[in-house]
Each structure stands twice: as C-alpha cells, then as structure tokens.
Amino acid sequence: MTHYQRIRKEFDEPFAEVIKGFAIMGYSRRATAQIVEIPLATFLRYAKRFGVHDKFKSQSELRSEFRGGPLGKTWRVKNRKRKAGKFDEQMG
C-alpha cells in the first residue's frame, strides 16, 4: 500500500483533499509530512503530482508554531542580529 493510499484510507478522503485541509489550516509542508508520516522528499513529490504544492501559505501566514527558524530561533536577516541561542549564552 502506497503512502497516499494509506492516507486516503486513514482519513476517508482523497489524498489531495487531506493535504489541502492541512494547508488551509496553516500547517507547513514539513509539519504536514510529519503528521501524515511521510518522508519530506516523498511528500513534496506527491504534493506536486497531486497539484496541492501551491496550496500552502507563505511562511509569514503559517501557524505561529511553524514560523521562524529551527527550534524557534529566527533566521539571520540582513542588518539584524539573530536571537541568542543556548550555545551563545554558554560561550559568554
């Protein structure tokens, strides 16, 4: 059974509709892949194949828990300093 067949059976809806639902709710592609238990690369390939890749919101419109960089830290932006991390605090 393929991933999309398993998802269709689990959610009792077509794969594309399930993924659109997560996109509308503001989940990121990575979070959706984790929720439906598909490796990210495979999920991205399926999303393009089923025409739902463009249904996801931009990063600024995502749910708050999915914005920002890894572990909630911000990404470096030109002329701005990033938040101090745990390593920075330990190093003084």
**Confidence band (pLDDT; 50, 70, 90) for 12?**
very high
Domain holding 61, by residue range, is: 3-91
- Total number of domains constituting the chain: 1
How far apart are alpha carbons 12 and 76 in whole angstroms?
A: 42
Q: What is the pLDDT of residue 42?
A: 92
Q: What is the pLDDT of residues 32-76, one digit of tens each?
A: 999 999 999 999 999 999 888 888 877 777 777 665 555 445 445
Give the separation between CA 48 and CA 1, rounded to whole angstroms: 20
pTM greater than 0.75: no
Q: What share of the chain is helix, strand, coil (3-state, %, to 5)?
A: 60, 0, 40
Q: What is the mean pLDDT of residues 3-30?
A: 89
